[in-house]
Amino acid sequence: MKDIKFTTFYLSMMVLFFIGLAILLKPASDYSENENRTLKTLNKYNVSDIMEGVFQEDLANFLCDQFPKRDAAMAVSACIKTMLGKRDMQDTYIGENHYYFEKVTDDDINVENYKRNLGRLNALCENRDALSMTVMLVPSSGVILSDCLPAFASIYDADALYDMAELMLEGTMINPSEALRAAHARGEYIYYRTDHHWTTYGAYIGYTCLMEDGAYTDYNPTSVCDDFLGTLHSRVLLSDAKCDEVFIATEDAAVSIDGQSSTLYHMDALGVKDKYQVFLGGNYGLVELEGQGNGTLLILKDSFANCFVPYLLSDYERIIMVDMRFYPASVANLIDTENITDVLVLYELNNFANDKNLAKLTM
């Protein structure tokens, strides 16, 4: 028995060592699609890298990043945690009916920054009497689908933020919450289960709130895929996730992205992990679209606008979309040189509150 025990011990050490060696020797993969980040790889190191601990730190990250079946390990640990009762991981609530929600509580909302951002929008309208600005902030899915949140889980107080905006904003504020709640009560599919974005139909509800008699009326969606597992799923990787279906509801159109000609819909995105990129192929600094209506509209936006903008093509002749995260130039200049009279600000509410890039509006 003694021999068996010792042999087992020695063998288990060999197995562990083999795993370590295998990670070091196998070709390293450098990108994790689920995490949307590059993985650690090893460079060449010299003595001073070792003396400063650079090599040691890199090795530690390398071994974790390159560990075989990493995603599976994550899924197993997430599964055990949920069995123990855990209902949030990586800032993601695991809700009812296979819904995941971003865990954003009042603590996570930077109210000061929110007020500053509202002030920046006001400042943009100052001295531009012809400019009409409309602000539509979209509540996070957890706000509207609160009945699907885990028991007792709380989400940030959206109403308080809307009240604040109502009070401060000089432009028009559109609050789509009520319409979205009503749609949810009807059992409509307005937010993705595994992604934080609103669905094509959710965006349509938003459109009806924004345009009381908009030109786009015949909502007739086509399903383009039904195997979408979004970014919230990437954070928890639970195996019981229910895939989302992605719809498009308008004709494709030619657009210009950062000066390059492109299309409204990117069907090749259906082959990658993040299928929400089917709308415009992702986020870019400056996107210009040609529509069938009249006038020019400038949209200051985050990714919530990507599946929303197609509806507006019926109403405007020209739409310019600016994503402040990737737009290096001055928005004020853009407004003046393009003689823009209508501005729409479209963000997810909490993203708008915490966004630091709106500071660039003062440029």
Partner 1 sequence: MVFSSIYFLCLFLPAVMMLYFIIPGKFRNILLLIASLIFYGWGEPVYIWLMVFSIAVNYICGLQIDRTENRAKRLALLVFCLIADLGILGFFKYTDFAIENINKISGSSIALLRLALPVGISFYTFQTLSYVIDVYRGNVRAQKNIIDFGMYICMFPQLIAGPIVRYIDVEGQLKNREVDEDAVWSGLVRFSAGLFKKVLFANQVGLIWSEISSLTTRPMATAWLGAICFTFQIYFDFSGYSDMAIGLGRIFGFNFPENFRYPYEADSITEFWRRWHITLSTWFREYLYIPLGGNRCNVIRQILNLLIVWALTGIWHGAGWNFLLWGLYYFLLLTLEKFVFKNILKKTPAVLRHVIALLLTVFGWVIFACDDINVLTGYIGTLFGSQGMANSMSAYYLSTNALLLIVMALASTHYPKALCGKILSRLDEKQVYLFELLFVMGCVGLSIVFLIGDTYNPFLYFRF
> 3-state DSSP call for residue 139?
coil
- 154 touching partner 1, by CB under 8 A: yes
Using CB under 8 A as the binding rule, the residues of this chain from 88 to 117 that contact partner 1 are 88, 90-91, 105-107
For residues 33 to 72, the per-residue mask of contacts with partner 1, x marking binding by CB under 8 A and - elsewhere, is: -xxxx------------xx-x--x--xxx-xxx-x--xx-
Count, residues near partner 1 per rule CB under 8 A:
71
- Which region holds residue 90: left if phi is over 0, alpha if psi is between -120 and 50, else beta? left
Backbone angles phi, psi at 55, to 5 degrees: -60, -45
Contacting range for partner 1; rule: CB under 8 A; set: 168-176, 206-214, 256-264, 277-285: 277-285
- 87 touching partner 1, by CB under 8 A: yes
Tokens of 92: 């993601």
Beta strands in 105-195 (DSSP E): 132-138, 172-174
Residue recorded with tokens 């819904």: 99
Residue 176, CB-side half-sphere exposure with 13 Å CA sphere: 29
CB of 9 or CB of 292, closer to partner 1:
9
Q: Among residues 29, 30, 76, 172, which is the contact residue for partner 1, using CB under 8 A? A: 76
Q: Among residues 86, 157, 166, 227, which is the contact residue for partner 1, using CB under 8 A? A: 86
Q: Report in angstroms how near the CB of residue 51 gets to partner 1 at its nearest.
A: 5
Q: How many CB atoms lie within 10 A of CB 171?
A: 19
Using CB under 8 A as the binding rule, the residues of this chain from 184 to 243 that contact partner 1 are 196, 231, 234-235, 237
- 20 touching partner 1, by CB under 8 A: yes
What span, in angstroms and rounded, lies between the C-alpha atoms of 295 and 319? 9
What span, in angstroms and rounded, lies between the C-alpha atoms of 273 and 266? 13
- 271 touching partner 1, by CB under 8 A: no
Q: Report in angstroms how near the CB of residue 71 gets to partner 1 at its nearest.
A: 8
Backbone angles phi, psi at 255, to 5 degrees: -135, 165
Q: Among residues 245, 274, 317, 342, which is the contact residue for partner 1, using CB under 8 A? A: 274
- 25 touching partner 1, by CB under 8 A: no
- 3 touching partner 1, by CB under 8 A: yes
Q: Report in angstroms how near the CB of residue 274 gets to partner 1 at its nearest.
A: 5
Tokens of 94: 């695991």
- 13 touching partner 1, by CB under 8 A: yes
Q: Report in angstroms how near the CB of residue 296 gets to partner 1 at its nearest.
A: 27
The strand order across the sheet containing 132-138 reads 172-174, 132-138, 342-348, 296-301, 318-322, 286-290, 254-257, 260-263
Confirm if 165 and 152 have CB atoms less than 8 A apart: no
What span, in angstroms and rounded, lies between the C-alpha atoms of 121 and 14? 63
Confirm if 290 and 253 have CB atoms less than 8 A apart: yes
CB of 315 or CB of 323, closer to partner 1:
323
Report the first-to-last Cα separation within the chain, whole angstroms: 78
Q: Report in angstroms how near the CB of residue 138 gets to partner 1 at its nearest.
A: 13
CB of 88 or CB of 288, closer to partner 1:
88
